[in-house]
Structure 1
Amino acid sequence: MNSPSFARYRAEWFSGVGAARRDVLAGLVGTFALIPEVIAFSFVAGVDPQVGLFASFVIGIVIAFAGGRPAMISGAAGSVALVVGTLVHAHGLQYLLAASVLGGLLQVVFGLLKLDVLLRFVSRSVRTGFVNALAIMIFSAQVPQMLGVTWHTYAMIAGGLAIIYLAPRVTKAVPSPLICIVVLTAISMAFPMPLHVVSDLGKLPSSLPSFAIPGVPFSWETLQIVAPYSLAIAAVGLLESMMTASVVDELTETTSSKARECTGLGLANIAAGLFGGIAGCGMIGQTVGNVRYGGRGRLSTLAAGVFLLVVLVPLRPWVAQVPVAALVAIMVMVSVSTFSWGSLRDLGRHPKVSGAVMLATVAVTVATHDLAAGVVVGVLLSGVFFAFKVTRMMDVAASYDAASDTRIYTVSGQIFFASADIFADRFDLSDTARHIHIDLTQAHFWDITAVGALEDVVAKLRRHGATVELVGMNEASAILVDRHAPQVLGGPAAA
């Protein structure tokens, strides 16, 4: 019980009275920030708003205990809602719940196999593009609430932003977004005016969720229906959660267990499906807001989830009166603080390919409203640019020693699937020299494609009657070549 891991877990829950108070207050702000987006995402998925609210409540509680990234808020997210909308429209809510449970099981397996290492293939440029795209999407999600409204709404939004940015100069004991909510709600109730309030966004739950097995036939046909959506839920949810966790790591200058976050998210989504909720994942906007206003521990994650229904159910009449303008002001602040403004300056300082990857990630994400699509495009572009870069760094220089009638090829750089053909083309197979000397001291062979290229070159040169000698091959390359093409090293003419 006194192991370092247990001590760390305990510290993630409680590191002092002051930290606990900040976590609770930041979580409360996160609760109000969750409400409008969760309701909006529920409409995207084609389900009743309480389905999204139930999910966020359950996910918040479970992942607070089982997740690997303290201070990260998870709930019903738009990325998941986008991939399940057709399932709901075609087969109904119960199939969505079944897909959520199966998607959670896949995420648990993903975490247990520690496949979170795949995140290492996501470059810094992709992560920056991901964050910037989310900031743009967070802001654009507020635009509908600012169209077709009276001047009162704009005045309240402006007043809310003023409170958010000026209140910290007076006191930091209470997060300024919470002050914004209380003050604007009091003003709207004291001076009635034409404003949209939370109750206008959709039906608020009047009770806590209850446990129930999804009402679908347990058959092969059902599995065929839900499996593709479950796989999409698992992939998109993990991708967004891993990216969100990385953002929190940078903001707090701490580390987290990504494998545990995968498993925790899976358990949370299983629970969400069994309690009548849609699957979810990490929510970047609410998480950044939570961290910006003092949330650091697991208590802030728990508070955001618990308050969501504990506040909504008994205090429903009062919560329903919170003006949407207050929530819009908070989300505009989150959008501004989330965007990496330094990345605009870096466009002129960093390599052009890095800027291109970042901009492509932003463009695809914003255009498709699909976080997974943007990140996949960014990762693919990063891989292509990297391959071209490494290919240009590979070189084969040739020289000739007339005294011994020897052609010397000096190879340098990395030989792998993208550079193997270029490597092979650098050898003159019609060379009449009796001896071929290939110096591999500065080269490295990475895969069987590279080994195959070397095997073809050596075999063709030997067929032309030349004696081929390989020198300087490093141990790792030699093991790979010996395993897949032993005749290259051990052939009778290899000497």
Structure 2
Amino acid sequence: MKWIGRFSGYSANSFRKDLVSGCIVGIVAIPLGMAFAIASGVKPEYGLYTTIIAGILISLLGGSKFQIGGPTGAFIPILLAIVMQYGYENLLIAGFLAGVFLILMGLLRLGSLIKFIPKPVTIGFTSGIAVIIFSGQIGNFLGLEGVERHEYFFYNMKEIFLRMSTLNLYSVLTAGICLAALILTPKYLPKVPGSLVGIIVSTLVAAWLFPDKITTIGSAYGPIPAGLPSFAPLELSWDRILTMLQPALIIAMLGSIESLLSAVVADEMTGTRHNSNRELIGQGVANIAAPLFGGIPATGAIARTATNIKNGAASPMSGIIHGLVVLMIVVLFAPYASSIPLASMAPILMVVAWNMSEYKNFKHMLKTRTGDSLVLLVTFLLTVFTTLTIAVQAGLALAFILFIKRMSGSLAVDKVLPDHSSDKAKVQANRVTEERDCPQLGIYTVEGTLFFGASHVLEDLGQKLLADQDLRVVLLRMSRVPFMDTTGESNFTSLIERLMQHGIVVVISGLRSQPKELLLKTGSYAMIGQDRFFEHTGEALNYALENLQFNKCLGCKQFAFRECTGLSSTGSLRQHIS
């Protein structure tokens, strides 16, 4: 019923909108699909098959009304590394297993967890991937011969430098024509896909003016077969599955991040709301199906999704139509694509890399010069110079450490006293001075999250309190502690136990629901004593004053409380009250 609900109120006018947007996005997807496949180290037709199979299934089964799925630039470094290390057949297995992981993530309702990945990490690895994609196309742009692909950035740059003597001016001219079309088309023909114009114009110029002078898709990969992609079952074995589990998990993680980011962009553009767990399940089914037809891993494509929305898409039908359009063009015109020069594909990927680099956000975050800037730089540099796996793990670890450091610094314990100059006599830290401070009673406001990263704050407080020989009562104001974890509870209980062992009475006020429930579960609430807990500070203060050694109040000139005037002269709280 939910699937049908996405088409509620669907009309002939809605179909017309979907037909227009689907056709436009389908045309846009064709050169991108081939380019992403080539950059990933596989034949261009596999990118087209992915666009068809995964594109249709993601729109049909996903959780976003406007999502367009297919091969994306974000996958290029990962897929290329897998192809180089394990081969194309094992890449299909990795994609299949990634689909299984994505379905499990959706069933376990992990879709909402993706939003907790820090933005510096996502911007860092996205910008790093953009650098890898851009640099990977320099060879094709310049028409260099004999360039070998390597897994690491440094060796790829070294390879380009060593092959610079083979520069082909015809390739540079072809790439320049395509690049000019990519830049000028949006300005003068905004409704026409610039990538399609660039490929057609540059291919025609190359075929007319200097045929056989540059490398084409056909000369590098063979002719693109026309017709439907054929079904081919995967050769699964336990050894292959175990070998490809880690690459599959990496694909699934990146695919989930990319697809949900794309869905969020779609929500912002349309005012709708996607179902993240359903989106993961749809992505999973698509990635299980695509390898069975030779397709590579797919995810939500932000740029194509935005194009879909801008051209008036009304429902997921536009994404289905986009896949069918690609299928029709492959059946009718695939052989002609073999004549496309690789130099024509290079500028398309370079522009994709530039658009996905998030250079504005990158620059803005660097300017803040905070811990987030460090996380951004570390993730970016590790993505470029090592692997995406290492980069994301290091970025998340560093972000976690910095978060813990910031959170631990947010827990504060201040000694306070009532401000008698105000009508309500609210407690304030600035009322504690050398001339005004009770030797026997210490009132402390605890503010912040009491968790494992803030244990040192309670340890320091304990040492300070136990060093005071005159201290008899401690009142802890806990109303500003919203959360306490088990480590925080353990440290909190340990502090109170040590104080009680030294004969100090501990009184607690304003304990909130979550810390109270935890103390009840661990038994610490009963250990401290129910009579020591109060809802309001005033009630707790009255109880605390009753537990002072009144003979020590005689002659005291601190006058920290209103009651101190009577206690100093009589030494009896009860007499003062009466």
Q: What is the match of residue 364 of structure 1?
A: 382
| Superposition deviation, residue 481 in structure 1 | 1.8
Pairs within 5 Å for 1:172-183: 172-183=190-201
Aligned pair in 2 of structure 1 residues 163, 229: CA closer, same or farther (>3 Å)? closer
CA distance in 1, matches of 2:219, 2:474: 81
Q: What is the match of residue 378 of structure 1?
A: 395
Q: Does 1:123 align with 2:160?
A: no
CA distance in 2, matches of 1:291, 1:356: 36
Q: Deviations over 1:374-433 (max 9, x none)?
A: 344333333222222222221112368876721222212221111123232222233331
Q: Does 1:482 align with 2:520?
A: yes
| Superposition deviation, residue 213 in structure 1 | 3.7
Q: What is the match of residue 411 of structure 1?
A: 446
Q: Does 1:103 align with 2:138?
A: no
Work out which of the residue numbers 210, 229, 250 in structure 2 matches 1:192.
210
Q: Does 1:30 align with 2:34?
A: no
- Match of 1:431, SS state, is coil
CA contact (8 A) 1:83 1:232 kept: no
| Superposition deviation, residue 437 in structure 1 | 1.6
Work out which of the residue numbers 274, 281, 287 in structure 2 matches 1:269.
287
| Superposition deviation, residue 317 in structure 1 | 2.6
Counterpart of 2:476 in structure 1: which amino acid?
Answer: I
- Match of 2:137, SS state, is helix
Q: What is the match of residue 40 of structure 1?
A: 39
Q: Does 1:208 align with 2:211?
A: no
CA contact (8 A) 1:36 1:198 kept: no
Q: Deviations over 1:294-337 (max 9, x none)?
A: 48564554455445554344423311112223322222332333
Counterpart of 2:76 in structure 1: which amino acid?
Answer: G
CA contact (8 A) 1:415 1:443 kept: yes
- Match of 1:407, SS state, is strand
Work out which of the residue numbers 319, 322, 326 in structure 1 matches 2:337.
319
Work out which of the residue numbers 135, 142, 161 in structure 2 matches 1:140.
135
Work out which of the residue numbers 464, 468, 477 in structure 2 matches 1:431.
468
CA distance in 2, matches of 1:365, 1:152: 33
CA contact (8 A) 2:185 2:192 kept: no
Q: What is the match of residue 504 of structure 2?
A: 466
CA distance in 1, matches of 2:120, 2:241: 38
TM-score (norm 1): 0.84
CA contact (8 A) 1:67 1:265 kept: yes
State which drifts further: 322-331 or 410-419: 322-331
Counterpart of 2:345 in structure 1: which amino acid?
Answer: L
Aligned pair in 2 of structure 1 residues 303, 154: CA closer, same or farther (>3 Å)? farther
CA distance in 2, matches of 1:103, 1:111: 12
Counterpart of 2:63 in structure 1: which amino acid?
Answer: G
Work out which of the residue numbers 156, 161, 164 in structure 1 matches 2:182.
164
- How many aligned residue pairs are there? 483
Aligned pair in 2 of structure 1 residues 231, 10: CA closer, same or farther (>3 Å)? farther
Counterpart of 1:408 in structure 2: which amino acid?
Answer: I
| Superposition deviation, residue 267 in structure 1 | 0.4
Q: What is the match of residue 414 of structure 2?
A: 397
Aligned pair in 2 of structure 1 residues 187, 409: CA closer, same or farther (>3 Å)? same
Aligned pair in 2 of structure 1 residues 283, 409: CA closer, same or farther (>3 Å)? same
Query: Does 1 or 2 have the higher relative contact order (CA < 8 Å, sep 6+)?
Result: 1
Counterpart of 2:215 in structure 1: which amino acid?
Answer: H
Q: What is the match of residue 554 of structure 2?
A: none
Pairs within 5 Å for 1:304-315: 305-315=323-333
Counterpart of 2:103 in structure 1: which amino acid?
Answer: V
| Superposition deviation, residue 9 in structure 1 | 9.4
Q: Deviations over 1:218-247 (max 9, x none)?
A: xx6665455445444433432343344445
State which drifts further: 265-274 or 300-309: 300-309
CA contact (8 A) 1:68 1:261 kept: yes
TM-score (norm 2): 0.73
Unaligned runs of 5+ in 1: none
Q: What is the match of residue 388 of structure 1?
A: 405
Q: What is the match of residue 331 of structure 1?
A: 349
Counterpart of 1:75 in structure 2: which amino acid?
Answer: P
Q: What is the match of residue 420 of structure 1?
A: 455
| Superposition deviation, residue 360 in structure 1 | 2.4
- Match of 1:437, SS state, is strand
CA distance in 2, matches of 1:331, 1:252: 27
Counterpart of 2:28 in structure 1: which amino acid?
Answer: V
CA contact (8 A) 2:34 2:46 kept: no
| Superposition deviation, residue 56 in structure 1 | 4.2
CA contact (8 A) 2:26 2:326 kept: no
Q: What is the match of residue 63 of structure 1?
A: 58
- Match of 1:183, SS state, is helix
| Superposition deviation, residue 142 in structure 1 | 1.5
Aligned pair in 2 of structure 1 residues 389, 109: CA closer, same or farther (>3 Å)? same
Pairs within 5 Å for 1:224-303: 224-247=242-265, 249=267, 255-283=273-301, 287=304, 290=307, 294=311, 298=316, 301-302=319-320
Q: Deviations over 1:465-488 (max 9, x none)?
A: 111111121222211222224346
Counterpart of 1:486 in structure 2: which amino acid?
Answer: S
State which drifts further: 269-278 or 299-308: 299-308
CA distance in 1, matches of 2:2, 2:240: 47
| Superposition deviation, residue 98 in structure 1 | 4.7
Work out which of the residue numbers 319, 338, 341 in structure 1 matches 2:359.
341
Aligned pair in 2 of structure 1 residues 331, 102: CA closer, same or farther (>3 Å)? closer
CA distance in 2, matches of 1:476, 1:263: 34
Q: Deviations over 1:188-231 (max 9, x none)?
A: 222234222222342434543333443345xx666545544544
CA distance in 1, matches of 2:68, 2:318: 8
Identity of aligned residues (%): 25
CA contact (8 A) 2:77 2:132 kept: no
| Superposition deviation, residue 282 in structure 1 | 3.8
Counterpart of 2:339 in structure 1: which amino acid?
Answer: Q
CA distance in 1, matches of 2:310, 2:438: 77
Aligned pair in 2 of structure 1 residues 4, 51: CA closer, same or farther (>3 Å)? closer
Larger radius of gyration: 2
Work out which of the residue numbers 368, 384, 409 in structure 2 matches 1:350.
368
| Superposition deviation, residue 263 in structure 1 | 0.3
- Match of 2:479, SS state, is strand
Work out which of the residue numbers 476, 480, 499 in structure 2 matches 1:442.
480
CA distance in 2, matches of 1:289, 1:199: 32
- Match of 1:440, SS state, is strand
Counterpart of 2:289 in structure 1: which amino acid?
Answer: A
State which drifts further: 25-34 or 307-316: 307-316
State which drifts further: 388-397 or 164-173: 164-173
CA contact (8 A) 1:107 1:266 kept: yes
CA distance in 1, matches of 2:63, 2:505: 59
Aligned pair in 2 of structure 1 residues 477, 489: CA closer, same or farther (>3 Å)? farther
State which drifts further: 61-70 or 79-88: 79-88
Counterpart of 2:500 in structure 1: which amino acid?
Answer: R
- Match of 1:461, SS state, is helix
Aligned pair in 2 of structure 1 residues 81, 10: CA closer, same or farther (>3 Å)? farther
- Match of 1:68, SS state, is coil
CA contact (8 A) 1:80 1:280 kept: no
Aligned pair in 2 of structure 1 residues 283, 277: CA closer, same or farther (>3 Å)? same
